[in-house]
Structure 1
Amino acid sequence: MTIAAHPTAAAPLQRSSVQHLPVNLFGAVMGLSGLSLAWRGASKVFGTSPAIADAIGVVAVITFVALAIGYLAKWRLYPAAVKAEFNHPIAGNFFGTITIAILLLSSVLGAYSETLGQVVWTIGSVLTIALTYVIASRLFRGKGDPTHVGPAWLIPGVATLDIAVAGGTMPMAWAPEVNLFAVSVGAVMALVFFAMIFSRLVHHDPLPAGMVPSLIILIAPFEVGFLAYVNVTQHVDMFAALLFYFGLFLFVVLAAKVFRRSVPFAASWWAISFPMAALSNAALKYAHHADTGLLRIVAAVILALLTIAIAVLLVRTLHRLFTHRLLVG
């Protein structure tokens, strides 16, 4: 008789529960929203049908509603679990995925209703600034563990940049000042966090396998920075180009380390989606500005990679959900 067959040695069945719904799954909304916006940009560069962006946008909205209902249920039924997740030095940073998702959805919804887009953007901006304040306040407590420093820190670090990404052309009289405030806070925090994370990656042990996909987040300050800067200034200049090209270079370097079969699939893989979406949107915007064949090819390749990556992530996540392996401890 084998050990596995012995009734007392059999592993206990784990029950799927909303208690184990990870906040980082809101990264799926970020990725889907970014993909929708990328295909909208592709319609200007390549003449693709806007219906593609519309369809992906609908999926993004549905995903956000489903996750919001699920996480509110977790908050109501298991408040201690939510509190522990929020206060965790690594997982707590993923709450930024919620506020960024709201900001990006404002751009998706704004294509159908300007008023609705403005309302959602305002809500997202307030929540994003509030979360950034909380995260920044934690840093000044001191005595932080260097091993807790990781790419996830960049999520709330670049979050305020997304205020300008989504609201660079908002018509409200106060919006330009909010965008400038958001870019100033996001740019400095992103640079500080990037330096801390870079130092940790160079001088300490490699990241655990489950955190390896989050390495792609390192391109976010440059590509989101590109989009925020261009949206606020309303033009593409040499500084914007420098941001885009360094982010592209960093993606090529990190992709070889992240996209490996040895890295197991988990919800944390959604961390690759929005940085790649930001890179795709930046590439499309830069290609539209430069109007060269090579940049169009680069933009097309990145958009294809982004679309394939999110399709694979969505299929694998739904498979784990329906096989009761997603929401287990």
Structure 2
Amino acid sequence: MSAVVDSPAAGRTPPPHPAGPRRGGLLAALREPRDVFAQLPPNWFAAVMGTGIVATAAAGLPVRPAGLRTAATLVWALATVLLLALTAAWAAHLRHHRRTALGYAADPVMAQFWGAPPMAAMTVGGGALLLGRDWLGLPTAVAVDLLLWVVGTAGGLVTAVAVPYLMMTRHRVGPDAAFGGWLMPVVPPMVSAANGALLVPHLPAGQPRLNLLLACYAMVGISLFATLIIVTQLWGRLVHHRVGAARMVPTLWIVLGPLGQSITATHLLGTAAGGVLPAPYAGGAQVFALLYGVPALGFALVWLALAAVITARAARSAGGGLPFALTWWSFTFPVGTLVTGTTGLAARTGSDLLAALAVALYLLLLCAWTTVAVRTARGAWHGHLFLPAPPARTAGS
């Protein structure tokens, strides 16, 4: 059996499930309303990531119908509210359920999702600079983005080291345990690189811009090389041990996240390099953005096709359809990074084909986000999403 299970975090003491609904309507599945704070794993912050990317991906689309920017700004505001609400809720969770909160790090599955809070913060920060500036003004938007970038980058660098360290020294991981979630703790530095590139022009000229640019390129390396290692293991697991539990299949889509975000980061860094790096290297950064971005997009599209057909197969095999869980948010942010990456390549090359692809991917993102957001809102309203998830078993043959 696989070690990849959607198991409760070690040390949790979940509230007992009542024999029947406490009452109809809001939080009916919980014994008491306060039990909403008993189970708040870090993957809840994926909802902020998935909502925020819908907004930021719209900001640069090659096709911009009337009202798109206003709608995108409203979605960014929703992501901001979600970030604030989840941060407050998690503070209450930590205060009243400390053992459960600290236990997430001991769980080999849930520990991976500690990468979500840093990325959620930076997604909202990037949206402030790209969209929120219309409401906040540029100086405030830059300040908000810089604050959230610093917080998110610090948190992301911690997860990029701490979670692999736990996997290497404490977690019990089987030979068939690799899953898309292993990428979650190592993707934040790539998000930092992309969002940091947006901040470069707003720093004082000279050393501040140069140091930030170089730091962003270094973080591209951190995430990219770790991604190559993990995707290789994931491919091997899929070939030798098959797909696994149906509820974990959506995590295959996470692979698109570092791929799309790396295309986005190299594009934005190439643009930011002008006037910061010496002439030969600035030109090289522009060339690298294209020569890396197009091949990476090619592999990302192949993985998108694989993930789609595997997901469809798992949904058919599951009988009643793919069981809904917070892992469904894996359908959103990773696809959104493909939108931003493809948009950047389309702007860089002038390709109508890439522009059309960016729009098509954005429509896919909108469909995915609408579906997942509605299901999440419904599950949160009734309280089912605040109950411990049942253990998932491998379904491979």
Contact conserved, 2:259 with 2:300, CA < 8 A, in 1? Answer: yes
Match of 1:84 among 103, 111, 131: 103
Q: How much has 1:146 moved relative to structure 2? A: 2.4
Alignment match, 1:277 = 336
Q: Does 1:46 align with 2:46?
A: no
Alignment match, 2:261 = 224
In 2, the alpha carbon distance for the partners of 1:93 and 1:326 equals 19
Match of 1:214 among 251, 266, 286: 251
Alignment match, 1:256 = 309
Q: Does 1:170 align with 2:223?
A: no
In 1, the alpha carbon distance for the partners of 2:43 and 2:93 equals 14
Alignment match, 1:7 = none
Q: How much has 1:205 moved relative to structure 2? A: 4.4
Contact conserved, 1:103 with 1:121, CA < 8 A, in 2? Answer: yes
Match of 1:60 among 79, 91, 99: 79
Alignment match, 2:230 = 193
How do 1:107-256 and structure 2 match up within 5 A? Answer: 107-111=126-130, 112=133, 113-141=141-169, 144-171=173-200, 172=203, 173=208, 174-234=211-271, 235=286, 236-256=289-309
Q: Report percent identity of matched pairs.
A: 21
Tell me the amino acid that sits aligned with residue 119 of structure 1.
L
Alignment match, 1:303 = 362
Matched position secondary structure for 1:146 = coil
Alignment match, 2:51 = 32
Contact conserved, 2:267 with 2:341, CA < 8 A, in 1? Answer: no
Tell me the amino acid that sits aligned with residue 312 of structure 1.
T
Alignment match, 2:117 = 98
Q: How much has 1:320 moved relative to structure 2? A: 1.3
Q: How much has 1:175 moved relative to structure 2? A: 1.2
In 2, the alpha carbon distance for the partners of 1:295 and 1:185 equals 28
In 1, the alpha carbon distance for the partners of 2:242 and 2:70 equals 46
In 2, the alpha carbon distance for the partners of 1:20 and 1:122 equals 28
How many residues matched?
A: 318
The gaps in structure 1 that reach 5 residues or longer are 1-9
In 2, the alpha carbon distance for the partners of 1:306 and 1:70 equals 27
In 1, the alpha carbon distance for the partners of 2:267 and 2:343 equals 13
- TM-score normalised by structure 2 residue count: 0.76
Matched position secondary structure for 2:158 = helix
In 2, the alpha carbon distance for the partners of 1:158 and 1:146 equals 23
Q: How much has 1:239 moved relative to structure 2? A: 1.7
Q: How much has 1:66 moved relative to structure 2? A: 1.2
Q: Deviations over 1:231-259 (max 9, x none)?
A: 22223412211111211221022112224
The gaps in structure 2 that reach 5 residues or longer are 1-17, 22-28, 134-140, 272-285, 389-397
Contact conserved, 1:90 with 1:148, CA < 8 A, in 2? Answer: no
Contact conserved, 1:25 with 1:268, CA < 8 A, in 2? Answer: no
In 2, the alpha carbon distance for the partners of 1:123 and 1:252 equals 35
Contact conserved, 1:25 with 1:270, CA < 8 A, in 2? Answer: no
Following superposition, which runs of at least 4 residues in structure 1 exceed 3 angstroms of deviation? 10-14
Contact conserved, 1:220 with 1:247, CA < 8 A, in 2? Answer: no
Contact conserved, 2:176 with 2:241, CA < 8 A, in 1? Answer: yes
- TM-score normalised by structure 1 residue count: 0.90
Q: How much has 1:212 moved relative to structure 2? A: 0.7
Matched position secondary structure for 2:122 = helix
Q: How much has 1:209 moved relative to structure 2? A: 1.2
Alignment match, 2:379 = 320
Match of 1:286 among 339, 342, 345: 345
Contact conserved, 2:59 with 2:69, CA < 8 A, in 1? Answer: yes
Tell me the amino acid that sits aligned with residue 359 of structure 2.
A
Contact conserved, 1:157 with 1:193, CA < 8 A, in 2? Answer: no
Contact conserved, 1:38 with 1:281, CA < 8 A, in 2? Answer: yes
Contact conserved, 1:212 with 1:258, CA < 8 A, in 2? Answer: yes
Contact conserved, 1:110 with 1:118, CA < 8 A, in 2? Answer: no
Alignment match, 1:3 = none
Contact conserved, 2:342 with 2:358, CA < 8 A, in 1? Answer: yes
Tell me the amino acid that sits aligned with residue 232 of structure 1.
L
Tell me the amino acid that sits aligned with residue 39 of structure 1.
A
Q: How much has 1:184 moved relative to structure 2? A: 1.4
When structure 1 is superposed on structure 2, of 87-96 and 165-174 the one drifting more is 165-174
Q: Deviations over 1:263-319 (max 9, x none)?
A: 111111112211011111112222222333332222211111101110111111111
Matched position secondary structure for 1:144 = coil
Q: Deviations over 1:34-82 (max 9, x none)?
A: 111111012xx11333212211100110111111111221111111111
